[in-house]
Every structure is written in C-alpha cells, then in structure tokens.
Homo-oligomer: A and B are copies of this chain.
Amino acid sequence: MAGFDKVVKNYDEALAGLQDGMTVIAGGFGLCGIPEGLIAQIRKMGTRDLTFVSNNCGVDDFGLGVLLAGKQIRKMVSSYVGENKLFEEQLLAGELEVELVPQGTLAEKMRAGGAGIPAFFTATGYGTLVGEGKEVREFDGRHYIMERSIVGDFAIVKAWKGDRYGNLVYRNTARNFNPMAATAGKITVVEVEEIVEPGELDPNEIHTPGIYVNRLIQGSFEKRIERRTLRAD
C-alpha cells in the first residue's frame, strides 16, 4: 500500500509548496492541540502575507504568536485573539488584519468547507456586527444569517496518534478544531505524537479517516499549558 503511506521524512517535505499569500487553516484551541513543529517550520521558512484561520493566535512566544514575531501573518480569522501583545501592536499599526468569527460559526465554516457545502444559515450573530452585510433569512419565524464556508491552501493539524495511511485519533480536548481543519485543507499536513502501523487503530474509533491527510510527520511537543489551574487537595 505504498500509495497510501503519508509519512514524510522531515519538516521541509511536510510544508513543501507553502507560499507567500496563502491561506492556512490551523487546528488547536489556545495552546491546546496545536501543531507546534509545523508552526516552527513556517517560522523557519519565513513565508509571509499568510492568512491564518485559527480559533486563537497563540501567545507572544508560543503557538501562532511566533509567526507574529516574524511578521508573517497578514490576516487572522479567529473567534478570540489578543492573548499576546504583539497582536495588539501589529493590529494598531495596521500591519495585521483581523476577522472575528463566532467560535461555533468558525468550526462550522471549516466543516462546511471540507464537506462541499458552500454556505449555511445560523442564528448566531444575527442582529450583531457579525451579521452586518450578510444575507438574513427567516425560517419558521426565526432570523438567521448566511455564512460561507472556508477552505485553506494548507491545513496544519495536530493529532495524538496517526497510522501510516493517515488515520488519526485525537486525545481529550486537544481534539477541538483539528478534525475540521483536517477536512478543509487542499493539502492537509498532520503532526502526531506517535506514528503507528495500519491496523493498530480500531477502525470504529478513528476520528479522521486517512483520505483527508496528505502528509504525516512525527513531532515532539512541549505542550505548554496556558492557564495552569489546580485545586487545593
């Protein structure tokens, strides 16, 4: 099954073809479940003018924040940003554009992009700034706005385990946006904690089937915790 072996040799190969001005969809919520090595590789490549579709933009020295440091991001499509100072600086300086999208709408836009659905209706954002300029439609007495789907030139994804065919499983809340991101990239690149052989993952328990995955690489992860919170006992 050589044609289905998605494992690439190194990070250069993992992100080969990524060019200035492209749109990248990234998995992760805060610093949880982010493709650390792939972000580091984009930093190293110095690719510029990127549009990132990602729920958040990391912190100053970790996650997508490191690409702000390199002034590599032109636009963020996110639900919540500004956990880092660079973001605010670049936004105020006009170096960075931001499009705020409600979290659930963002997740659904990615899902729709991967599923061949160009647009859908949601009540989220109706009557708010998010709904401005968007088509409004009434269904069964309630108002909804039309939202378009999102597809990326690349998707960068972090999974727990992946087999050589690209079948993926995620762990706990590190799943978050990763499964939708995986479906919505023209080229989907996945970084995993462990590469296993086909058959090691139960076919009933695969979160992302390998058909969505173009390239797979084993990473090593710092897994930084953004808000370490403990209980007393």
Contacts and interface: CB of A to CB of B under 8 A. Distances in A.
Interface stretch (A57-65, A168-176, A181-189): A168-176
25 contacts: A108-B115, A108-B117, A112-B120, A116-B122, A116-B123, A117-B120, A117-B121, A117-B122, A118-B121, A118-B139, A118-B140, A118-B142, A118-B144, A119-B121, A119-B144, A120-B120, A120-B121, A169-B204, A170-B204, A171-B204, A172-B203, A172-B204, A202-B205, A204-B205, A205-B205
Chain A, interface size category, equals 20 to 34
Residue in A108, A120, A139, A171 with the greatest tally of chain B CB atoms within 10 Å = A120
A125 B175 CA distance: 34
A204 B123 CA distance: 29
A43 interface: no
A118 B115 CA distance: 17
Interface of A: 108, 112, 115-123, 137, 139-140, 142, 144, 148, 169-172, 175, 202-205
Nearest to A137: B119
Nearest to A124: B116
A120 B123 contact: no
Nearest to A175: B204
Residue in A121, A123, A172, A203 with the greatest tally of chain B CB atoms within 10 Å = A121
